[in-house]
């Protein structure tokens, strides 16, 4: 009888767990005959394997994966991160030859095929600006928005205090740890004053409109919100409305 540690699981799920690719990519590679388990080609979707079985991928899969691009955008207000909604354009509309940052010197030529399966790895709401990642690489998406992610995201948040005077230290401490949203305690954050009307937030989670709702809970109104860093990748000097490619040397 199998123990929980050696129960069979779907090959595509195991490949994703190992960081080889996303589950969608895994299914594509399996159907093309690019995946071997213990040296034997497995081409049937839904195949289950044991966790200790050895998985290898063919060179074609690695070559195809290396062609996948990741794009960094400095999103302006008024664009949505993903699918078009309520008449607003999605951020991917900005990924054109003309909109590429002039200082992006990577030797990658833009081609419309790069827009296929180019999806946001995390959200940035319509009223917010700053760093937004769009990627074709399932490994990057999983790293940034998977259930177990612990990647830091840093924001500059301009605020006004609705109760007069200044925000009490006790409420600043609550922003760091002690607030609840949607019936759940938030993970500890790092929140400090950047200057007299701007806070610096560093979070390891991303609930919908989380920073705005955190601020509301302590009597602050958000006037402007800009994401400036995801992991080790910074927005830097990328102008608003422009985009560039993520280089091979940059790691989140």
Q: Is the pTM of this model over 0.85?
A: no
Q: What is the dihedral of CA 41, 47, 50, 52, to 10 degrees?
A: 30
Contacts of 85 (CB under 8 A, 6+ apart): none
Task: Give the per-residue pLDDT at 153.
Answer: 96
pLDDT of the chain, 252 residues: tens digit per residue: 344 567 899 999 898 888 787 788 889 899 999 999 999 999 999 999 999 999 998 888 877 766 789 999 999 999 999 887 778 899 999 999 999 999 999 998 898 888 888 999 988 999 999 999 999 888 888 888 877 778 999 999 999 998 888 999 999 999 999 999 999 999 999 999 999 999 999 999 888 899 999 999 999 999 999 999 999 999 999 999 999 999 989 988
The second-level CATH assignment, the architecture, of 4-65 is Roll (3.10)
Instruction: Let me know if domain 153-230 sits in CATH 3.30.2350.10.
Output: yes
Q: Token match 């992006």: residue?
A: 104
Per CATH, the number for 67-148+233-245 is: 3.30.70.580
Task: Give the per-residue pLDDT at 179.
Answer: 96
Active-site choice (38, 86, 125, 169): 125
Distances (CA, A) of 101 to 32, 71, 239: 36, 11, 8
Q: Is 38 a catalytic residue?
A: no
Q: 171 φ, ψ to 5°?
A: -75, -35
Domain limits, the chain: 4-65, 67-148+233-245, 153-230
């Amino acid at each position: 009888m199998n123990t929980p540690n050696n129960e069979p699981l779907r090959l595509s799920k195991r490949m994703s767990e190992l960081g080889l690719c996303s589950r969608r990519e895994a299914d594509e590679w399996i159907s093309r005959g690019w995946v071997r388990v213990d040296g034997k080609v497995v081409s049937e979707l839904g195949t289950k394997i044991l966790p200790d079985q050895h998985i290898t991928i063919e060179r074609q899969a690695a070559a195809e994966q290396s062609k996948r691009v990741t794009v960094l955008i400095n999103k302006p207000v008024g664009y949505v991160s993903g699918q078009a909604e309520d008449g607003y354009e999605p951020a991917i509309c900005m990924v054109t030859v003309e909109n590429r940052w002039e200082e992006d010197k990577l030797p990658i030529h833009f081609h419309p095929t790069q827009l296929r399966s180019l999806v946001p790895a995390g959200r940035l709401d319509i009223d917010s600006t700053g760093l937004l990642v769009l990627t074709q690489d399932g490994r990057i998406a999983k790293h940034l928005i998977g259930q177990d992610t612990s990647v830091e995201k840093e924001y500059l948040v301009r605020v006004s205090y609705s109760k007069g005077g200044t925000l009490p230290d006790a409420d600043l401490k609550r922003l760091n740890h002690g607030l609840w949203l949607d019936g759940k305690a938030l993970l500890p954050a790092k929140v400090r004053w950047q200057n007299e009307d701007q806070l610096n937030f560093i979070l390891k989670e991303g609930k919908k409109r989380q920073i705005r709702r955190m601020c509301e809970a302590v009597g602050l109104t958000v006037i402007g919100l800009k994401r400036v860093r995801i992991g080790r990748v910074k927005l830097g000097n990328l102008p608003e409305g422009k985009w560039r490619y993520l280089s091979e040397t940059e790691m989140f």
